Amino acid sequence: PTGRLRVHALPGFVLGHLAQVLQRFQERYPQIVLDMIVNDAAIDPVKEGFDCALQIFPPRSEELISKKLFPVRRVFCATPEYVRRHGMPRHPRDLLGHRIGWYSGYPTRERLAFHGEAGTVQLELKPVLLTNSVHLLREYALEHAGIVCLPTLVASDAVLDGRLRLMLPEHPLSSFWLSVFYPATVRSALKLKLFLEVLEQGFAGALPPWDRPLLERGLIGERLID
């Protein structure tokens, strides 16, 4: 197989996780040129001229097929230094007294549900930082600036090495799925099929590699909340 494959992907997924898969793909298929556009926008690959899009939120289109890759769990976290200065939230409503960094692209905006043994707590946050970059949120937290909500695929390393500490782990949040969206009739059908096979070998399943050590340490639960 030869030619170009145009792929649109989220930076939260690409940075730190995708390069190894790309290297494996190009070792197998050296004549395929990957044209990767990295952006947080949820796009319609048909209208934008891409062969596929790796994203969490589906575009509004009936011309697409979607294939789930892995769940995207979310956690609240902050540095131990921030906790030392400002205290640890013990209940979801305690977050209203803290500086919060929040991803601006969620469909529910700043509204979310915390799930726990005593039931569900509905809350509307009052963030002091809104951004479409989860990596900026991570850096903001590492500067001891506040509590942020991050996908575990971005937060896992810093949580495991102690730079970030989980907040309210007994009140898990709902998860999303990162999916591949592609046209029902795609121009690069063979190249896309081969690319999806390599992606699925690397990531398909209910427990991604960055979540496994968190689960083994008891920092997150295995059950997914829709």
* pLDDT, tens digit (0-9, with 9 covering 90-100), for 109-146: 888 999 988 889 999 999 999 998 999 999 999 999 99
Strand order across the 3-9 sheet:
32-38, 3-9, 52-55, 176-183, 64-72
Question: Higher-confidence residue: 74 or 206?
Answer: 74
Residues in the chain: 226
Q: How confident is the model at residue 33 (pLDDT cuts 50, 70, 90)?
A: very high
**pTM summary value:** 0.88
